[in-house]
Structure 1
Amino acid sequence: MARWRGSTLSVTATGARVLDDDDLGAAAALCATVPVESVLAANRIEAVVRSGLRSSGGQLWGFEQGGELLAVCWAGANLVPVVPAGAKGALNAFAVLARAQGRQCSSIVGEADAALGLWARLSDVWSRPREIRANQPSLVIDHAPLVEPDPLVRRSRTSEYELVLPACVAMFAEEVGYSPASGPNGPYETRVRSLIAEDRSFIRLVRGARGPEVAFKAELGAVAVGVAQVQGVWVAPQHRGQGLSETGMAAVVEATRNEVADTVSLYVNDYNTKALAAYRRVGFRQVGTYATVLF
């Protein structure tokens, strides 16, 4: 048992531990009970089922009562709590582990109550975040898109990495506020290569002044528990206002539902009203709320 008293919080926590490979089946089953909420963590869990936790670069925390696993939290580059209803005490327990470890993540992200609740328990000891995005509507579509898919949107090819990477960097910098680029074999560059190799990167190319350029792009950033979460949706500035976000997303939805997962999800900042309107025209509906604490 662990106790602490901060300036605004007094808690007692018990029941959390670092899980091992023998716990992965139970963790995956738990995530399957809340698939849209858990897809980010479930994506990591399904990956480590194949490779093992030792080589994953992160930890998986679990919260148990009476021998039953009630909640999990992926602790890696991002801290991703999955706390289904009824897992009372899980956030206090995960906060004990997070305080002991110290901040090693670049964000806390997930279902809003869980992500913001965990941050509330850490805010007096962790460094001040750059930004808190407390209201990010979580949207899903589990039927055919309501607009005609763009026939020119397709999966990226390995040979097109040099075209895709600048578009990904531009999207990230526009969204987060800084460039993620760190060199040819940096973690962001490796991530982009991996998404292309796994057929999870979509683009629409157009002819520019210097040759082909990316007009629209999106990735399936997480795929698990029957859900594919779209991330990194971006339209090049010179091609905005032409409806590419709607028709491009319709193409991504169609291909994903045909070949990857029946349910397609994403989350978007509440202030991005144009994107919200575009996704709703495609057929997405809100089923919950995410939140992100960015460091």
Structure 2
Amino acid sequence: MDCPHCHSTEFSLLQQRTNLGYHRFRCKICRRTYNERTATPFNFVEVPTDIIFEVLFVRVRYKLSYRDVAEFYLLRGFQFSHETVRDWEEHFLPYFTEHIREKRRGKIGQVWFVDETYVKVSGRWCYLYRGIDQDGNLVDVRLSDKRDMAGTKAFFEMAREISGESPEQVFTDGLKSYPRAIDEELGKEVEHQVIGCQGNPVEQSHRGQKDRYYPTLGFGALESAQRFCQAFDEINNFLRPRRQMREFVSLSEQRDRFFHGVEALHNIFNATQLKAYRRKMMFHLEY
């Protein structure tokens, strides 16, 4: 592992490890010691990186509050407060979510179903724009404090960026801002059709977000709400057992796909740590 202090590639592995079990190194040029987490976002966290991944995963995936998560890991011998869980979610979850998004960049279908639902933030209702493709996979999700032209255009701008190209068709519920936003952000050649709530499959996909959102009794700020809602949809889409809508998947196959998916998420989380370290290295090399 290159030295994070002088960026030298000449180092020696020390026999002694850190208290958390990470390898320690000594640079042969500057003679300074460092470990596997030095210069990474997890450097001063007093629990293993694997536990941080599990905490963020169970916080987003299951109906647990900050206090529930802290209490659960107390049984496993890891003592930290609910504010620590909140802090990890604020600092590490956006990086994790962004790397999951990168895995599906350019892999979205050509037919989009788009709709908006309600989320309470700081005591008032905000609008969560969500879209799925013809196979039921996530297109994108964005929270807006208003259901207006600016919010609709911002959603389609994000969706087109992650998709890499405009779709062939977009189905919506007939909100007045959709036709103009589709023409300006996706292109006039995109076909726009209006369908009722019962015929729009994205209406059913709102249920997962709603079931996870209701136990929180609302969010305190728009930024934290957007961070959580986006992470929830990205992780659940990544772990989705069906590759097409209405596909039958046996329980044993669902469990196999779940375990493989969680293992892949763990690898992505570890890659997040390494990429953050490499970005910092490149920054120092440039300046």
Shorter chain as denominator, the TM-score bin is: under 0.3
Structure (1/2) with the larger strand percentage: 1
- Indicate the structure (1 or 2) with the bigger Cα radius of gyration: 2
Structure (1/2) with the larger helix percentage: 2
**TM-score under structure 2 normalisation?**
0.23
**TM-score under structure 1 normalisation?**
0.23
